[in-house]
Amino acid sequence: MAEFYQYGGNNGGTYASHFSCKLSVWENSYDINSNSSNVGYRLELISGSSGRFSDLTANYTVCLDSQGSPQYVAQSSGRYSSQSYNSAQTICEGTTTIYHNADGTKNIGCWASLDFQNHTYSPGDFSPSGYMDLSTIPRYADFNGHRINATDLESVEVAYNSNKNLVAAESSLNGGSWQPLTIKSGQWSVANNTVIYTLNGLNPNTQYRVETRIAHVAGLWKYSGQLTFSTKDIARITRVTNSNFGENVNITFSNLTNGIAKLTVKIANTEICTRENLTSNYTLSFTQVELSKMIKLLKDETTEITYIVTTNNKYTASTKAIITLKANIYKKKNSKWVKSKLYKKNSNWKLTKLFYKVNGKWRNTK
């Protein structure tokens, strides 16, 4: 409670100096949702040890929040008679609502006027005034920062920083329901520290919208606004060359750093080979065993071959190319190139065994 006095009335009668006026102001309660306080007031005339009067008219006014939007909470007049020595007489009292600043603070100017009619025994005129701080009402938290920290194939990391300690923090994906946060780092409830939370179970190469809300006081949510992001794409084959049987194949990949990638090569449903430790510009060389497997699957001079890249053993992307089987091919034997012959039998290409004589003995090239 705040009490504001004026001792001795101005322009009063003989005993004006023995009277005083007191304005009392107090805060009954505050309401978080409306950001306002219920404030009580009382205006009193206090008599001293001398001086009496009877049936005098007085005008009075009580004004609160005089430096903001003045509220004349009481304005009227009445007729008053003398009171006992050293006692108080209530002129007016009541309650009013005072709205606080956006940050919950409020300082109010308090002023009253009590003006008695001129008379030989008039207490005089009074205008007690002063200032009073109301309670600071807890208000909304605010974001110091809110951003996308990182994305992956199936997840996103969102970072935020709040200016106040929090009692709650939640996120919404694509405008959906609000969910508790899965914290990766930071203390979600502590002001002025960066918090990173994750959203999992997303689809690769997909655009999403995420929003965060925080509360310093239960029910008073501050919304971040939506951030748009896209998850990373899976590994893909952007170029592959057609090739002749036995030759190297040049393959260009994208997005290899977004996960663990593996290459699989197939003819129809038969797996020819797999490769790991891929690079963006990759040269595929087939082993002799793989070539032997391939030759059994070649049905004509040209055959379709499928190249499949798998990311994290889950997501696949593929492309096709042509492998051409020429009538003559060459094989390296003992650092020398030796021509080999192919022939077709039962719709399959067969490799003719070539023999040559070494130290009087025939040996084949395979």
pLDDT per residue over 175-215, tens digit each? 999 999 999 999 999 999 999 999 999 999 999 999 999 99
Judge whether residue 277 has pLDDT over 70.
yes
Q: Which contiguous run of DSSP H or E holds residue 291?
A: helix 288-295
Q: Give domain status of residue 102, yes or no.
A: yes
Please name the residue that has the structure tokens 């430096």: 67
Q: Which of 47, 41, 48 shows the shortest CA–CA distance to 4?
A: 41
Judge whether residue 85 has pLDDT over 80.
yes
How much is the pLDDT for 58?
94
Residue 242 DSSP one-character state: -
How much is the pLDDT for 120?
87
Amino acid letter, 336: K
Residues 165 and 191 grouped into a single domain: yes
pLDDT grade for 7, boundaries at 50, 70 and 90: very high
Residues 241 and 222 grouped into a single domain: no
CATH of the domain at 275: 2.60.40.10
Q: SS3 string of 120-179?
A: CCCCCEECCEEEEECCCCCCCCCEEEEEEEEECCCCEEEEEEECCCCCEEEEEECCCCCE
The span from the CA of 62 to the CA of 90, in Å, is: 13
How much is the pLDDT for 102?
86
pLDDT grade for 76, boundaries at 50, 70 and 90: very high
Mean pLDDT, rounded, of the chain: 89
How much is the pLDDT for 256?
95
Q: Determine what percent of the chain is predicted with pLDDT higher than 90.
A: 72
CA 357 to chain centre: 79
Judge whether residue 335 has pLDDT over 90.
no
Residues 72 and 122 grouped into a single domain: yes
How much is the pLDDT for 116?
93
Sign of CA dihedral 30, 33, 36, 40: negative
Tell which of 98, 133, 168 closes a domain: 133
Residues 275 and 211 grouped into a single domain: no
Angle at CA of residue 71, ends 66 and 75, nearest 5°: 110
Q: Determine what percent of the chain is predicted with pLDDT higher than 70.
A: 88
Residues 58 and 179 grouped into a single domain: no
Residues 335 and 317 grouped into a single domain: no
Residues 64 and 110 grouped into a single domain: yes
How much is the pLDDT for 334?
67
> How large is the average pLDDT for residues 333-347?
59
Q: Give domain status of residue 278, yes or no.
A: yes
Residues 147 and 96 grouped into a single domain: no
How much is the pLDDT for 103?
87
CATH of the domain at 20: 2.60.40.1470
Max avg pLDDT among 67-81, 311-325, 335-349: 311-325
Residues 18 and 128 grouped into a single domain: yes
How much is the pLDDT for 295?
87
* Long-range pairs, 158-161, Cβ under 8 A, ≥24: 158/196, 158/197, 158/198, 158/199, 158/210, 158/212, 158/227, 159/194, 159/195, 159/196, 160/194, 160/195, 160/197, 160/212, 160/214, 160/224, 161/192, 161/193, 161/194, 161/195
Strand partners of residue 267: 270
Judge whether residue 344 has pLDDT over 60.
no
> How large is the average pLDDT for residues 47-67?
87
Instruction: Give the side-chain half-sphere CA count within 13 A for 152.
Output: 14
> How large is the average pLDDT for residues 257-282?
96
pLDDT per residue over 104-157, tens digit each? 999 999 999 999 999 888 999 999 999 999 999 989 999 999 999 999 999 999
pTM: 0.67
Tell which of 113, 133, 153 closes a domain: 133
- Please say whether the beta carbons of 95 and 40 come within 8 A: yes
Q: Give domain status of residue 138, yes or no.
A: no
Residues 309 and 261 grouped into a single domain: yes
Q: Give domain status of residue 34, yes or no.
A: yes
How much is the pLDDT for 257?
93
Q: Which contiguous run of DSSP H or E holds residue 182?
A: strand 182-185
> How large is the average pLDDT for residues 10-27?
93
Judge whether residue 357 has pLDDT over 50.
no
Range of the domain at 334: 328-364
> How large is the average pLDDT for residues 272-279?
96
Tell which of 181, 208, 230 closes a domain: 230
> How large is the average pLDDT for residues 156-167?
97
The span from the CA of 307 to the CA of 294, in Å, is: 14
> How large is the average pLDDT for residues 12-37?
93
Judge whether residue 339 has pLDDT over 70.
no
How much is the pLDDT for 213?
98
> How large is the average pLDDT for residues 31-60?
91
Residues 159 and 38 grouped into a single domain: no
Count of domains in the chain? 4
pLDDT per residue over 296-314, tens digit each? 888 778 899 999 999 999 9
Strand partners of residue 97: 38
Strand partners of residue 230: 207
How much is the pLDDT for 365?
45
